[in-house]
């Protein structure tokens, strides 16, 4: 698995890969085709998409708590944050729970603007 950062507020899809704002995990078998797509190449060149640990997936080294805390703080991917809440390490859980609460609060605040 590669860690791919998406630095835009929207969702981006290409070649069977969906990127949410913040950090995303992309399977190694999908990454090569994804990175060859012209729209992806353009976004990588602009810095909108950053691949931070491509090729490390073969080692299956577990990320450190600090890496996962940083991922949680930068992520807007609710699905990934829910995975991190299940981590055995308290610091990772707390960071993911805090980020989920921030996202939930922002969503509720946005709902109030419509009235």
pLDDT in tens, 44-53: 999 999 998 6
Separation of alpha carbons 99 and 14, rounded Å: 26
Least Cα distance to 31 among 14, 48, 47 occurs for: 14
Q: How confident is the model at residue 2 (pLDDT cuts 50, 70, 90)?
A: confident
At 47, is the secondary structure helix, strand, or coil?
coil
Beta strands at 49-51 and 22-26: parallel, antiparallel or unpaired: unpaired
Q: How confident is the model at residue 16 (pLDDT cuts 50, 70, 90)?
A: very high
Residue with tokens 């704002």: 21
- In 1-115 the beta strands, taken as DSSP E runs, fall at 2-6, 12-14, 17-19, 22-26, 49-51
Q: What would the two tokens of residue 12 be?
A: 């981006």
In this prediction, what percent of the chain has a pLDDT beyond 70?
Answer: 89
Q: Give tens-digit pLDDT for 52-90.
A: 865 544 445 678 889 889 888 888 888 889 999 999 999
Contact 78, 103 (CB under 8 A): yes
Separation of alpha carbons 11 and 88, rounded Å: 29
Contact 4, 56 (CB under 8 A): no
Evaluate if residue 99 carries a pLDDT over 90: yes
């Amino acid at each position: 698995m590669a860690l791919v950062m998406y630095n835009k507020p929207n969702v981006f899809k290409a070649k069977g890969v969906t990127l949410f704002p913040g950090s995303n995990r992309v399977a190694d078998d999908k990454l090569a085709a994804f990175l060859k797509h012209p729209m992806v190449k353009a976004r990588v060149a602009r810095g909108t998409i950053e691949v931070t640990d491509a090729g490390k997936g073969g080692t299956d080294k577990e990320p450190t708590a600090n890496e996962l805390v940083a991922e949680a703080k930068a992520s807007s991917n609710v699905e990934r944050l829910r995975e991190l809440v299940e981590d055995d390490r308290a610091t990772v859980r707390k960071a993911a729970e805090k980020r989920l609460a921030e996202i939930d609060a922002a969503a509720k605040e946005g709902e109030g603007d419509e009235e």
